[in-house]
Chains A and B, each alone.
Chain A
Amino acid sequence: MSRNGRAAGPRVVVTGLGPVSSIGVGAAAYGQSLRAGQVGVSEIRSFDAAGFPHRYAGEVRDFEPDRLLGRLDLTRWGRSSQFAATAARLAVRDADLSSAQIEAAGLGVVMGTTSGESQVVEELTARAVAAGGGQAFPPEVVSQLPAARLAYAASEELAAPGLSVTLANACSASNYAIGYAYDILAGGEAEAMVAGGADSVCRWAHAGFYRLGALSDRTCSPFDRDRTGILTAEGGVALVLETLEHARARDARIYAEVLGYGLNCDARHMVAPDANRIADCMRLAHANAGVKPADVGYICAHGTGTAMNDHAEAAAVRMVFGDDPPPMSSIKSMLGHAMGAASGFGAVAAVLAIHDGFLPPTMNWANPDPRFDWLDPVPNRSRPAQIEVAQNNGFAFGGNNCITVFGALR
């Protein structure tokens, strides 16, 4: 395989994983669920879904931030910030980074999100509806609104001194965060970073996707001929990225190398994906990572479960990979669509695929789509595989495409 042509600078590796998801909290539980094809979808509890025709989502049922966090005062932070901070804490614990190492490495945090503190917006809205105006906004709730607080919560929890920023690039935001953190390390501005994303299930997104005709009743079946759409989901996810030198000096476990990423914008439509631009984005990612299509052994799909996404994503893969594309599965068939956290969950899946040697499955799959019957979606059962390079797709409203590429450390 070729990894030539990459920008000079330190190599960057993944040393810690912190998923907080509907299929498991922590790297071990999450990895086991991916392997077992565990589906995390359940009847919605975060809001009263009684009036909705569809009432299922990928909620994090066993989210207990108070048991996992070290420093953060939970009363001051909204649910998405708590997801971000908990994911960051789990990732740092998984990486076995001490407080002193966090300070010395100048550790920074980049978090991605679609709707930030959406449940805080909904709480304020409900109060305004009840009282007939915003005079009923409680100040302690208003102060939890800014989406920047997702990254701040993680920085606060970790007592991290570096850059702390939240990227609001909708459903590819975690990939943006990972890419930005990678750049900061490759550019020599820090020795360790935490990157990921967070979002919470909320009424307005549930209603919006339903009205777009994109919401499934209770099953997400990407790449299946009879797919019925997405399921909204939530969670937080974080990865510890370090320079290879920093990781080796402290004898850290290395899951995989961040080879690079690519990003571009459709600049054509706010909602509909553009296969040609997605293909362009894949080419940018491969060039940045110094890999060729033939090097890629697994694609962790954006795979939302809508016909529109399936067709665009499959068409783009065909354009870039030709007649012999690698297996491409969608973990959203298990997790649902965790919005700003989604591509972070994908990144963790790609990293575990490389490190643990398996392909996560596309669950709920029954029939090939005749428009892309060549696709191997790893149907319904994970399988062992040795993966050298994995690509993690992320697309979003606003035409915000971002694709990360990970490789086995060689």
Chain B
Amino acid sequence: MTGLLVTGAGVVSAAGLGLTAMTTALTAGSPLRLDVTGLFPQPLPYRSAPVLASFDARALLGRKGTSSIDRATALSLVACGQAIEDSGLPVAEMADRVGIALGTTVGSLSSSSEYSRETLVAERPYLVNPMLFPNTVMNCAAGHAAIRYGLRGVNSTVAGGQLAFLGALRYAVNVLRRDYADAMLVGAVEEFSPHSAWAHQRLGHEGPPGEAAVIVVLQRPGTPLGDGRRPLAELAAVTSGYRPGGHAAGPGGRMAACIRQTLARAGLQAGQVGSLAVSETGGGPVGQEMLAEAEEAAAPGGSARQVRVRHVLGDCGAAASALQFVALLASFADRPADGPPVRPALLAGWSPEGAFGAAVIREPAASPAAV
């Protein structure tokens, strides 16, 4: 068991700002589709998509330090700010011991691709804007988050596509376990752009792509909680692995084994999981198989509620499993004080290449000191 505590969440999605906006949209269940035809100068493969159509980075973040940042970085910064505020983490008092692990697919594809495009279409290939160069590097958002919020501890960017959040989570658990930090911001980001939209469409994925940034605060037990705050959940275990040959090669059972191992580390058995979320990206027959594999391992006989986000928020790439994670997290917060305990939740993910991972969260112990 990790004993680590989730103490805050920040969510920026097509549903708006904050976790409540997201859960409200998920409860309503209707697809969020906003007109995207006027958002970019380039042609798009979709007329509408689940995006933050009126997202205004300057209004939310101010002018200072925002003049040259890209959309992925801006979304991340807003989510980081929310998560820090939600947790009440006294960052300034512990700056050397606070870090970030942020999941991504390729950073900002629009930033790197537009930079590359300038080398082709400018009068001279080197007439690129030096101010925008850092945006092409994948750790741009995490670097800006450190500067803006004074996060002087471990700063890492995990490239994991649909497994990015689980990758960042496992990375952060390692950092906290090894005592390299006391608190980590953990999350993932994906921006909507013409580049990512075409990439999504050309891969033949169903439905439109979306965009989101999600950050949670993960702390070592015994580290300071914000005034009057209670932990939102305990992260019980996180595990990951790789299946050579890929998941399309027929039933593999390796993700099921990973899920069983994760449950065992959390001191749980199959059937004790109350809610379950599995990667929705990629879908298709392999997706169905992986979902079945996860259900069989964690909740045989359909004994767990399945949490989906994609039909409402679109395919949010690296941020997709982070959205699922906070949707699972919200189920703990919804419980009335005198209500029955909420059963633990499992997040499982896989990539077409063959990677997979799983994490279990559960209600925090009544007294944080007892954890």
Interface residues of A (CB under 8 A from B): 7, 51-53, 71, 108-109, 113-118, 121-122, 124-126, 128-129, 132-135, 137-139, 142-143, 145-150, 152, 155-156, 159-170, 176, 180, 183-184, 186-187, 202-213, 263-271, 277, 280, 396-400
Partner of B117, one of A129, A143, A271, A399: A129
A-B contact pairs, 23 of them (CB 8 A): A116-B106, A116-B138, A139-B203, A143-B352, A145-B106, A146-B159, A148-B167, A160-B242, A161-B241, A165-B158, A166-B159, A166-B160, A168-B104, A169-B157, A176-B156, A183-B174, A203-B125, A208-B130, A211-B130, A265-B152, A277-B152, A397-B140, A400-B156
Specify the chain B residue showing the minimal Cβ separation from A157. Answer: B244
Specify the chain A residue showing the minimal Cβ separation from B174. Answer: A183
Specify the chain B residue showing the minimal Cβ separation from A163. Answer: B240
B23 within 8 A of A: no
B292 within 8 A of A: no
A165 touching B43, Cβ below 8 Å: no
- In the bound complex, residues from chain B placing their C-beta under 8 Å from that of A271 are 133-134
Partner of A146, one of B105, B137, B155: B105
- In the bound complex, residues from chain B placing their C-beta under 8 Å from that of A210 are 126
- In the bound complex, residues from chain A placing their C-beta under 8 Å from that of B119 are 203-204, 207
Q: How far is it, in angstroms, between the C-alpha of A71 and the C-alpha of B96 when the chains are bound?
A: 44
B133 touching A208, Cβ below 8 Å: yes
Q: How far is it, in angstroms, between the C-alpha of A142 and the C-alpha of B195 when the chains are bound?
A: 10
A396 touching B139, Cβ below 8 Å: yes
Partner of B171, one of A124, A156, A180, A205: A180
Given contacts A165-B167, A264-B96, 5 further A-B contacts (CB under 8 A): A167-B156, A168-B158, A170-B137, A207-B119, A400-B156
B202 within 8 A of A: yes
Specify the chain A residue showing the minimal Cβ separation from B129. Answer: A211
* Nearest-Cβ distance from residue A204 to partner chain B, whole angstroms: 4
- In the bound complex, residues from chain B placing their C-beta under 8 Å from that of A203 are 116, 119-120, 125
Known: A133-B42, A162-B241, A211-B126. A115 touches B353 (CB 8 A): no
Binary interface profile of B, 306-323, with partner A (CB < 8 Å = 1, else 0)? 000000000000000000
Q: Which of A108, A263, A277 has the most CB of B within 10 A?
A: A263
Known: A161-B242, A161-B254. A212 touches B202 (CB 8 A): no
A156 touching B354, Cβ below 8 Å: yes
A147 touching B116, Cβ below 8 Å: no
Partner of B198, one of A134, A155, A280: A134
Specify the chain B residue showing the minimal Cβ separation from A143. Answer: B203
A145 touching B199, Cβ below 8 Å: yes
* Nearest-Cβ distance from residue B116 to partner chain A, whole angstroms: 4
* Nearest-Cβ distance from residue A328 to partner chain B, whole angstroms: 24
B9 within 8 A of A: no
Q: How far is it, in angstroms, between the C-alpha of A159 and the C-alpha of B42 when the chains are bound?
A: 42
Partner of A168, one of B138, B194, B246, B355: B138
Known: A121-B109, A166-B159, A269-B147. A152 touches B354 (CB 8 A): yes
Partner of B143, one of A124, A162, A164, A398: A398
B154 within 8 A of A: yes
B155 touching A399, Cβ below 8 Å: yes
B138 touching A142, Cβ below 8 Å: no
Partner of B161, one of A137, A146, A213: A146
Specify the chain B residue showing the minimal Cβ separation from A106. Answer: B241
- In the bound complex, residues from chain A placing their C-beta under 8 Å from that of B273 are none
Q: How far is it, in angstroms, between the C-alpha of A212 and the C-alpha of B146 when the chains are bound?
A: 22
B126 touching A267, Cβ below 8 Å: no
Partner of A400, one of B155, B254, B352: B155
Known: A187-B177, A264-B153. A134 touches B140 (CB 8 A): no
B107 within 8 A of A: yes
B244 touching A161, Cβ below 8 Å: yes
Main secondary structure of the interface of A (DSSP, over half): mixed
- In the bound complex, residues from chain B placing their C-beta under 8 Å from that of A209 are 133
Main secondary structure of the interface of B (DSSP, over half): mixed
Specify the chain A residue showing the minimal Cβ separation from B135. Answer: A270
B364 within 8 A of A: no
* Nearest-Cβ distance from residue A173 to partner chain B, whole angstroms: 8
Known: A114-B137, A125-B116, A267-B95. A162 touches B242 (CB 8 A): yes
- In the bound complex, residues from chain A placing their C-beta under 8 Å from that of B197 are 134
- In the bound complex, residues from chain B placing their C-beta under 8 Å from that of A114 are 137-138
Partner of A399, one of B116, B146, B240: B146
The 9 closest A-B pairs by CB, nearest first: A134-B198, A398-B143, A147-B159, A168-B138, A265-B155, A208-B133, A159-B244, A267-B146, A164-B242
Binary interface profile of B, 149-185, with partner A (CB < 8 Å = 1, else 0)? 0111111111111011001001100100111100000
Known: A148-B161, A169-B156, A267-B151. A133 touches B43 (CB 8 A): yes
A270 touching B140, Cβ below 8 Å: yes
B116 touching A202, Cβ below 8 Å: yes
Interface residues of B (CB under 8 A from A): 42-43, 45, 95-96, 99, 104-107, 109, 112-113, 115-121, 124-130, 133-134, 136-140, 142-144, 146-147, 150-161, 163-164, 167, 170-171, 174, 177-180, 194-195, 197-199, 201-204, 240-246, 254, 351-355
B202 touching A142, Cβ below 8 Å: yes
B133 touching A211, Cβ below 8 Å: yes
- In the bound complex, residues from chain B placing their C-beta under 8 Å from that of A280 are 96
Q: How far is it, in angstroms, between the C-alpha of A114 and the C-alpha of B201 when the chains are bound?
A: 26
* Nearest-Cβ distance from residue B21 to partner chain A, whole angstroms: 29
* Nearest-Cβ distance from residue B238 to partner chain A, whole angstroms: 11
Q: How far is it, in angstroms, between the C-alpha of A7 and the C-alpha of B177 when the chains are bound?
A: 11
* Nearest-Cβ distance from residue B140 to partner chain A, whole angstroms: 7
Known: A212-B130, A264-B96. A148 touches B159 (CB 8 A): yes
Partner of A204, one of B96, B128, B198, B254: B128
Q: How far is it, in angstroms, between the C-alpha of A133 and the C-alpha of B199 when the chains are bound?
A: 11
B199 touching A265, Cβ below 8 Å: no
* Nearest-Cβ distance from residue B89 to partner chain A, whole angstroms: 15
Q: How far is it, in angstroms, between the C-alpha of A137 and the C-alpha of B109 when the chains are bound?
A: 13
B128 touching A145, Cβ below 8 Å: no
- In the bound complex, residues from chain A placing their C-beta under 8 Å from that of B164 are 148
Partner of B113, one of A124, A159, A163, A396: A124
Known: A52-B126, A147-B159, A161-B241. A121 touches B99 (CB 8 A): no
- In the bound complex, residues from chain B placing their C-beta under 8 Å from that of A126 are 116, 120
- In the bound complex, residues from chain A placing their C-beta under 8 Å from that of B167 are 148, 165
B198 touching A163, Cβ below 8 Å: no
Specify the chain B residue showing the minimal Cβ separation from A154. Answer: B242
A165 touching B171, Cβ below 8 Å: yes
Q: How far is it, in angstroms, between the C-alpha of A148 and the C-alpha of B130 when the chains are bound?
A: 27
A169 touching B139, Cβ below 8 Å: yes
Specify the chain B residue showing the minimal Cβ separation from A159. Answer: B244
Q: Which of A138, A149, A164 has the most CB of B within 10 A?
A: A164
Known: A134-B194, A265-B146, A267-B147. A165 touches B139 (CB 8 A): no
A134 touching B202, Cβ below 8 Å: yes
B157 touching A134, Cβ below 8 Å: no
Specify the chain B residue showing the minimal Cβ separation from A202. Answer: B116
Specify the chain B residue showing the minimal Cβ separation from A401. Answer: B155
